[in-house]
Structure 1
Amino acid sequence: MGTSHDPLPAGTGEHAPAVHLTVRTAELMRELGRRLAALLGPGDLVLLSGELGAGKTTLTRGLGEGLGVRGAVTSPTFVIARVHPSLTGGPALVHVDAYRLGGGLDEMEDLDLDVSLPESVVVVEWGEGKVEELSEARLQVVIARSPYEKDGGPDADDVREVTVTGVGPRWAAEDLSGLAV
């Protein structure tokens, strides 16, 4: 997994510098989720972006493993949200798929995420423009298929470019560079 760091443009508020990672396999995506879990605690909101099949749920599986939660983490597409209680006394993982929600925060309010957020880690796939108002701080994770994998080897389809950005006061001083291996 490779990495680079870019600060966000001036005037964008309190942010940790963005970390850019190249993730070469699905297992390394899960490992990234496990490392990310070590930074998260109750009240943290994580927004996951990326096209279908990019690896959002795979990353969330790793988060669940790292947080020590009960139950297999699977895509919540048809149930909208799944709650995975902690097996270790830590925060629960609330995994939301906002893909089919079009009404923004109004529909999200029906899920009572604002009630879950203070004591849970809330991960929202497809949440851009829908859940940012839930918290003044969030971790934004953008996953894209790598455009530059030139060797076309057997794992070329698994290579992803991941950008992790901490937004808001909670993340302003956090060093996200430890996410790279």
Structure 2
Amino acid sequence: MESVRCETMEDTQAWGFKLGQSLRAGDVVILDGPLGAGKTTLTQGIARGLGVKGRVTSPTFVIAREHRSLNDGPSLVHVDAYRLLDSGVDPLGALDSLDLDTDLLDSVVVAEWGGGLVEQIADRYLFVQLDRETAVAEDPESEARIISWEWRG
């Protein structure tokens, strides 16, 4: 796994921006980390890197949000997989029933809490882990997070 230490939210968004510029239609990104680790902050950077419209906020209460491209790039589908996995129904069926305006293969899917769902929608995915605990243990005032990532599948 590769990793980077981001000292601020702005650093996290900047790293996400670079990641977003490298993603292509059909890519799936799984974000793992506890509450407050920076998953949505990272997704905001990814969205800017992809060049999509709309304000990126946590999809907790809507399960998924689609952000269309401002150019000819892929849309971003931002998913709260925890809600899908916790719903007691088939998560892939639930995602499909959201009636998104875009095909997942033509989009970049970023799923917070995506373990368990991703294996059903992608053979290959980028697993990104956000760790705030290490930095806070070293310095309780720290806003830093360590972001580790690897392609799986």
TM-score class, shorter-chain normalisation, is 0.7 to 0.9
* Equivalence for 2:116: 129
2:21 to 35, 38, 41: 38
Residue by residue, what CA displacement relative to the aligned partner does 1:129-157 show, whole Å, maximum 9, x if unpaired?
22222111100000011425677385x1x
Gaps of 5+ in 2: none
Using a 3 Å threshold, how does the CA distance of structure 1 residues 41 and 25 change in structure 2: closer, same or farther?
A: same
Cα distance in 1 between the residues matched to 2:128 and 2:24: 16
- Post-superposition offset of 1:104: 7.8
The 5-angstrom pairing of residues 98-117 of structure 1 reads 98-101=81-84, 102=86, 106-112=90-96, 116-117=103-104
* 2:59 and 2:65 in contact (8 A); partners too: yes
Using a 3 Å threshold, how does the CA distance of structure 1 residues 151 and 72 change in structure 2: closer, same or farther?
A: same
Cα distance in 1 between the residues matched to 2:124 and 2:59: 23
Secondary structure of residue in 2 paired with 1:141: strand
Cα distance in 1 between the residues matched to 2:89 and 2:18: 29
Identity of aligned residues (%): 47
* Equivalence for 1:57: 40
Using a 3 Å threshold, how does the CA distance of structure 1 residues 131 and 36 change in structure 2: closer, same or farther?
A: same
2:77 maps to 1:90 = no
Q: Match of 1:133, as an amino acid? A: Q
- Post-superposition offset of 1:167: 1.2
Question: Which structure is larger by alpha-carbon Rg, 1 or 2?
Answer: 1
Instruction: Count the aligned residue pairs.
Output: 149
Q: Given the two structures, how large is their TM-score scaled by the length of structure 2?
A: 0.88
Moved over 3 A (4+): 148-154
Instruction: Between 102-111 and 42-51, report the one with greater CA deviation.
Output: 102-111
RMSD after superposition:
2.2
Gaps of 5+ in 1: 1-17, 169-181
* 1:45 and 1:117 in contact (8 A); partners too: no
2:132 to 126, 145, 151: 145
